[in-house]
Amino acid sequence: MTNVENSVVRFENVGMRYGAGPEVLRDVTFTLPPASFHFLTGPSGAGKSSLLRLMYLANRPSRGVVSIFGKDVTQISRRALPALRRNIGVVFQDFRLLEHQSVFDNVALPLRVAGGNEEQIRKHVSELLRWVGLEKSIENLPSTLSGGEKQRVAIARAVIGRPRLLLADEPTGNVDDAIAMRLLYLFEELNRMGTSVVIATHNETLISRFEHRQLHLDQGGIEYRQNGAGSRDAASA
Amino acid sequence: MLLQRSDLPLSDDPAVRILPWIVGLMVYLATLTLAVALLVSTLTANWSAGLTGTVTIHIAVINDESEAVMNRRVEEAIRLSLKTPGIDAARAIPSDEVAALLAPWLGDEAPIADLPLPRIVDVTLTPDSTVDVAGLSARLKAEIPGAGLDDHQLWRDKLVDFLLAIQVVAVLMVVLIGATTVTVVIFATRSGLAVHNEVIDVLHLIGARDEYVAHQFQANALKLGLKGGFAGSIGGLLTLIVIRYTASELDIELFPTHLFQIWHWPVLASVPIIAASIVRFSARHTVLRALRRMP
Ligand SMILES: Nc1ncnc2c1ncn2[C@@H]1O[C@H](COP(=O)(O)OP(=O)(O)OP(=O)(O)O)[C@@H](O)[C@H]1O
Ligand SMILES: [Mg+2]
């Protein structure tokens, strides 16, 4: 049973639209318990990125209630947002790396923004970059990296702060299966330490290889699936 | 702090790149304008305190009186003046000097010697003392026929008014220069915010506070403000020194630099520091205001 009070993410009848456009999400209701691991699936344009935007507090719902770490996002003041966001790691679909900064500085950013100790930062960032196989590119600018390498920088930046919630938008879109597996292991490692993970992906190989629950989006609505079986999961709804 | 790594490539923005030049020019103008205001304020203080003042006693010729009678009245006037506390000296100006003073107005051909010229006594006041000029004037009128006192008060009041007006204009100019600088900084900062909107968005999503983003802008603005400000200040002070030496070389009081007081120099030297602080504050304020309006 999911404890609503302890939920990491909770959506209740959420609707979302961009400006005056049509609703891209309709009546979305689900709850993510702590330390859960979900794939977010669905056809292109189904609203996966939009759902993630609501979770990382880039957009507010146009109706319904979104709660993150038990807090209703419409009740959160602007001043309280940064502290909340430091507990959320995001891998953007288009990476959004800072182009004029080195790989190291990009990955160090969340720690620096939070006022971390420079010596600790150096140690953690180097370690993580070794893990994702980028130790040789540590001083390079993102523009000199391949798509897959950029993606790994983006992932390293998202996980460096050991967030309570990790949101990844197509994090394996540009890497071969071997690296994709390695990155998934990284996410699982984080998940074992208590992070709730949501990965939006089209990668069927990954979905079948890793037996995690699925949130399936279609035409703005959501459906729970266990291992791609398509059965609604009443317990979590 | 100034050499720290920046998350925003602010130094690449064209609007930001011209900032030191603008601040430099503004500081240059402000330094010169302020120098004028300071000189004029010393001048005004001197004049309104009557420190540079002398008073003049004039004694009119009374019909056909003899030279000796006239001289007696002049001596009496000198005696009265010297009895007044706060008066250092009183000196009768010889007739030929009076004639020489009047010559430019009367022309060379005028038979100056034949004219009934008034006699003039030049009275020097002790610096920094208050003299009962009105009392002296009353006594002169009462005791010496044809005598009168001119303390140049009217002329001095007009001069002081004029000097005050110059100061007001100078201060207004400094304020305008400051306002222009602030406006330029606001626009440069806004343009920076627009150019780096994407990066700022990422910083926010990663958990940066507005304060963190503002810090990047204000640190950069302070650096550029100091750079331009000191260049402008050095230029301004050099200009003052050059004017001073040229003026003394030419022996003209174009710019009465001897009126500079020691404390004026630190005031002038503080202009770039004040300017850089204003630049920093304007940048910070602009960023925080703009960010507060973001979702
Ligand atoms: N910034 C935006 N402004 C307006 N409409 C948008 C915006 N972003 C997305 N949309 C619309 O919202 C709908 C859902 O888009 P979204 O990016 O969430 O889909 P997605 O599931 O992530 O697709 P993909 O698998 O291709 O990444 C689409 O119809 C899209 O046109
Ligand atoms: Mg998407």
CA separation for the pair B289, B182 (Å, rounded): 15
CA separation for the pair A153, B23 (Å, rounded): 40
**Residue of the CA atom closest to atom 1 of ligand 1:** A18
Residues A83 and A8 in one domain: yes
pLDDT tens, position by position, B258-281: 677 888 889 999 999 999 999 999
Contact B7 A83 (CB under 8 A): no
Q: Which residues of B touch A105 (CB under 8 A)?
A: 5
Residues A109 and A151 in one domain: yes
Q: In chain B, which among 203-222 make CB contacts under 8 A with chain A?
A: 203-209, 212
Minimal Cβ distance to A113: which of B5, B12, B203: B203
pLDDT tens, position by position, A40-65: 999 988 999 999 999 999 999 999 99
Q: What is the pTM of this model?
A: 0.79
Q: Which residues of B touch A54 (CB under 8 A)?
A: none
- B251: which residues sit within 8 A by CB, 6+ positions away? none
Neighbours of B95 (CB within 10 A): 16
Residues A14 and A76 in one domain: yes
Count structural domains, chain A.
Answer: 2
Residues A152 and A188 in one domain: no
Q: What is the ipTM of this complex?
A: 0.89
pLDDT tens, position by position, B132-167: 878 888 888 888 888 888 877 777 788 888 989 999
Q: Which residues of B touch A98 (CB under 8 A)?
A: 7, 199, 202
Contact A56 B205 (CB under 8 A): yes
CA separation for the pair B75, A88 (Å, rounded): 100
Strand partners, A16: A25
pLDDT above 50 for B1: no
Residues B288 and B204 in one domain: yes
Identify whether the C-beta of residue B73 lies closer than 8 Å to the C-beta of residue B145.
yes
Count structural domains, chain B.
Answer: 2
Q: Which residues of B touch A83 (CB under 8 A)?
A: 207
Spatial CA neighbour of B289 closest among B198, B175, B180, B185? B185
Residues B215 and B112 in one domain: no
- Token readout for B255 is 């710019």
Within-domain flag for A94 = no
pLDDT tens, position by position, A139-164: 999 999 988 899 999 999 999 999 99
Residues B255 and B284 in one domain: yes
- Token readout for B22 is 């603008």
Residues B173 and B86 in one domain: no
CA separation for the pair A50, B173 (Å, rounded): 54
Residue in A closest to B213 by C-alpha: A113
Within-domain flag for B2 = no
Residues A174 and A213 in one domain: yes
Range of the domain at A209: 4-87+163-236
How would DSSP label each residue in B27-49?
A: HHHHHHHHHHHHHHHHHHHHHHT
Identify whether the C-beta of residue A128 lies closer than 8 Å to the C-beta of residue A159.
yes
Q: How many residues does chain B have?
A: 295
The neighbourhood of ligand 2, an ion, using CB within 5 A, equals A 48-49, 93
Residues B87 and B194 in one domain: no
Range of the domain at B237: 10-49+157-293
Contact A83 B203 (CB under 8 A): no
pLDDT tens, position by position, B203-227: 999 999 999 999 999 999 999 999 9
Residues A13 and A123 in one domain: no
Q: Is B112 exposed, middle or buried (0-12, 13-18, 19+ CB in 10 A)?
A: middle
Residues B230 and B113 in one domain: no
Residues A12 and A46 in one domain: yes
The verdict on A157 touching B (C-beta cutoff 8 Å) is yes
pLDDT tens, position by position, B72-125: 888 998 998 888 888 888 888 887 777 777 776 766 666 666 677 788 888 887
The verdict on B289 touching A (C-beta cutoff 8 Å) is no
Identify whether the C-beta of residue A84 lies closer than 8 Å to the C-beta of residue A44.
no
Amino acid A228: pLDDT:
44
Residues B203 and B281 in one domain: yes
For every one of its 237 residues, what pLDDT tens digit does chain A have, with 9 covering 90 and above? 445 568 899 999 999 999 999 999 999 999 999 999 999 999 988 999 999 999 999 999 999 999 999 999 999 998 999 999 999 999 998 999 999 999 999 999 999 999 989 999 999 999 999 988 899 999 999 999 988 899 999 999 999 999 999 999 998 887 888 888 888 888 999 999 999 999 999 888 888 888 888 999 987 677 777 654 443 443 343
Residues B19 and B161 in one domain: yes
